[in-house]
């Protein structure tokens, strides 16, 4: 089942109008706060007021500032490009990659549910951030140190379970996926599991909660319906690193979309969230198993989802083709490199579409921007 998620309507798109680049201290505050969550959700109207520990927009956030990457992001972009190049080299040698340490578990990650204490003994559960088919998500605070967390409640009747012998039997599928992704070395572009609780009627999944942040769909709406190519580059680089990490761990996300990406509005760091639709690659659900085997993913579907999302971010609408030429139509001024990139990714001939590795090496992602 899917949730009806908000999308950018054409009425919100501002044609070819480009957001102006603000100075360091300049910005028009957003009139109302938007919050996000770690599940299949829609923003909850009940969270309109500022509450301790909830997702929020920083006071300096403005459409202009959000729509274009600030000049000091060069270091972030260089770091991401370096990580991408390392990943590409690593994936070329995938057949010779070392097997993950079968005993390696992070000392900060659980191997089973927290059965000794109750959720309410450790965390203060705050406002409802959002809700959906796969559960309700609440803002939370860890009592001992004030750490912001997201608490996802999934009813046992609704949540799927998987059998993990290494953990003593059946556990919630989403918990198992997050555990797999949390085996060191972890990925900063994938949401991290803190712990989980097995209640009488529901499972409670406690995850990190970046502050301040928005989901990428809401972020682009607040920018006027689209973002700059430079900012889209930063998003795509981080998303590719997240997807590469998932593949190496034998995990399919299953629902890559702007709603399932959190962007920290002050740092522009991105995290892939919501593994409610995720699944294991066959034979990889045993934690600590050999995970560098070739993966039988529906790669073309993943590429198409990523490409359509990227087009929507930059152009403010879903891809549309010209009836006369059959080529993609671009409703606002974009670079020739981006046009070439999108026409390749969303080619009518599926056999001509790029792989994730080819996307990561495309000239558009290598393109620099003047600050």
Q: Any idea of the CA torsion for 333, 335, 336, 337, to the nearest 10 degrees? A: -150
Burial class (CB in 10 A: 0-12, 13-18, 19+), 35: buried
- Mean pLDDT computed over every residue of the chain: 76
Given a cut of 50, is residue 254 above it in pLDDT?
Answer: yes
Query: What percent of the chain lies above the pLDDT cut of 70?
Result: 67
| Band of pLDDT at residue 200, cut at 50, 70 and 90 | confident
Give the confidence band of 146 by pLDDT, cuts at 50, 70, 90.
very high
Tokens representing 123 are: 């965390």
Contact status, residue 193 vs residue 187, Cβ threshold 8 Å: no
Residue with the two structure tokens 């979309």: 257
- Which residues are bridge partners to 170 per DSSP? 163
- 1-13 burial, b for 16+ CB within 10 Å, e for fewer? eebebeebeeebb
pLDDT of residue 165: 77
Cα–Cα nearest to 145, from 111, 108, 187: 108
Fold agreement between 19-35+56-92+212-366 and 102-208:
no
Quote the pLDDT of residue 266. 92
Q: Residue 108: is its pLDDT beyond 50?
A: no
Phi and psi of 20, rounded to 5°?
Answer: -75, 155
Q: Supply the pLDDT for residue 147.
A: 96
Residue 48 has pLDDT above 50, yes or no: no
Cis amide leading into 50 (omega within 30): no
pLDDT for 93: 77
Place of tokens 């829609």: 42
Q: What is the per-residue pLDDT across 281-318, written as a single tens digit (0 to 9) for each?
A: 765 554 544 334 444 446 778 899 999 999 999 999 99
* Structure confidence at residue 30 as a pLDDT band (50, 70, 90): very low
Give the highest mean pLDDT range of 90-99, 105-114, 326-335: 326-335
Give the catalytic positions in this structure: 255
Q: How far apart are CA 287 and CA 164, in angstroms?
A: 8
Least confident range from 101-105, 167-171, 265-269: namely: 101-105
- Reported as a pLDDT band with limits 50, 70 and 90, residue 99 is very low
pLDDT of residue 281: 77
| CATH code given to domain 19-35+56-92+212-366 | 1.10.510.10
CATH for 102-208, options being 3.40.50.300, 2.60.40.1930, 3.30.200.20, 3.40.640.10: 3.30.200.20
Name the token pair of 233: 């580059």
123, 143, 277, 108: which is closest to 205 by C-alpha? 123
Q: Does the pLDDT at position 207 exceed 50?
A: yes
Confidence (pLDDT) at 67 = 65
Distance CA 39, CA 137 (A): 7
Q: 116-138 burial, b if ≥16 CB within 10 A, otherwise e?
A: eeebeebbbbbbbbbbbebbbbb
Neighbours of 192 (CB within 10 A): 16
Q: At residue 333, does pLDDT exceed 90?
A: yes
DSSP per-residue string spanning 169-196: EEEEHHHHHHHHHTSSSP-TTB--EEEE
Place of tokens 């990227």: 310
155/136 Cα distance (integer angstroms): 9
- Strand segments (E) across the chain: 42-43, 123-132, 135-142, 148-155, 161-164, 169-172, 193-198, 202-208, 213-215, 251-252, 261-264, 270-272, 279-280
pTM for this predicted structure:
0.74
- Domain extents in the chain: 19-35+56-92+212-366, 102-208
Contact 261, 312 (CB under 8 A): no
Cα dihedral 75, 79, 81, 85 sign = positive
Interval 175-200 mean pLDDT:
93
Mean pLDDT of 70-89: 83
| 272: confidence class by pLDDT, cuts 50, 70, 90 | very high
Share of the chain above pLDDT 90, in %: 45
CA angle 45/48/54 to nearest 5° reads 105
Residues in contact with 3: Cβ distance below 8 Å, sequence separation at least 6, in sequence order: 40, 41, 42, 132, 133
- Please answer whether residues 176 and 189 qualify as being in contact, where contact means their C-beta atoms are separated by less than 8 angstroms: no
Lowest-confidence segment of 158-167, 183-192, 211-220, 323-332 by average pLDDT: 158-167
């Amino acid at each position: 089942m899917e949730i009806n998620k908000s999308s950018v309507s054409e009425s919100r798109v501002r044609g070819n109008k480009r957001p102006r680049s603000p100075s360091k201290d300049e910005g028009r505050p957003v009139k109302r706060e938007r919050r996000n969550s770690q599940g299949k959700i829609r923003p909850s109207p009940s969270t309109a007021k500022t509450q301790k520990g909830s997702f929020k927009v920083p006071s300096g956030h403005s459409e202009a500032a959000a729509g274009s990457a600030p000049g000091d992001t060069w270091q972030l972009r260089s770091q991401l490009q370096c990580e991408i190049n390392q990943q590409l080299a690593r994936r070329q040698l995938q057949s010779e990659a070392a097997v993950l340490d079968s005993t390696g578990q992070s000392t900060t990650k659980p191997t089973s549910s927290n059965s000794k204490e109750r959720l309410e003994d450790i965390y203060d559960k705050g406002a409802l951030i959002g809700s959906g088919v796969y559960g309700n998500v609440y803002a939370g605070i860890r009592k001992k140190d004030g750490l912001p967390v997201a608490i996802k409640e999934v009813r046992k009747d609704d949540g799927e379970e998987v059998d993990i012998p290494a953990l003593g039997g059946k556990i919630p599928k989403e918990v198992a996926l997050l555990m797999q992704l949390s085996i060191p070395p972890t990925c900063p572009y994938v949401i991290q599991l803190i712990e989980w609780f097995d209640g009488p009627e529901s499972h409670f999944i406690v995850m990190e909660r970046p502050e301040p942040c928005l989901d990428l769909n809401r972020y682009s709406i607040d920018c006027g319906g689209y973002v700059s190519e430079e900012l889209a580059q930063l998003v795509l680089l981080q998303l590719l690193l997240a997807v590469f990490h998932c593949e190496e761990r034998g995990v399919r996300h299953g629902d890559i979309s702007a709603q399932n990406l959190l962007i920290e509005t002050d740092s522009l760091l991105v995290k892939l969230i919501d593994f409610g639709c995720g699944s294991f690659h066959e034979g990889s659900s045993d934690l600590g198993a050999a995970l560098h085997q070739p993966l039988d993913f529906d790669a073309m579907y993943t590429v198409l989802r990523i490409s359509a999302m990227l087009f929507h971010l930059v152009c403010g609408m879903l891809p549309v083709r010209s009836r006369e030429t059959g080529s993609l139509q671009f409703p606002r001024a974009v670079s020739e490199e981006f046009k070439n990139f999108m026409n390749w990714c969303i080619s009518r001939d599926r056999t001509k579409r790029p792989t994730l590795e080819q996307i990561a090496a495309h000239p558009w992602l290598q393109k620099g921007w003047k600050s």
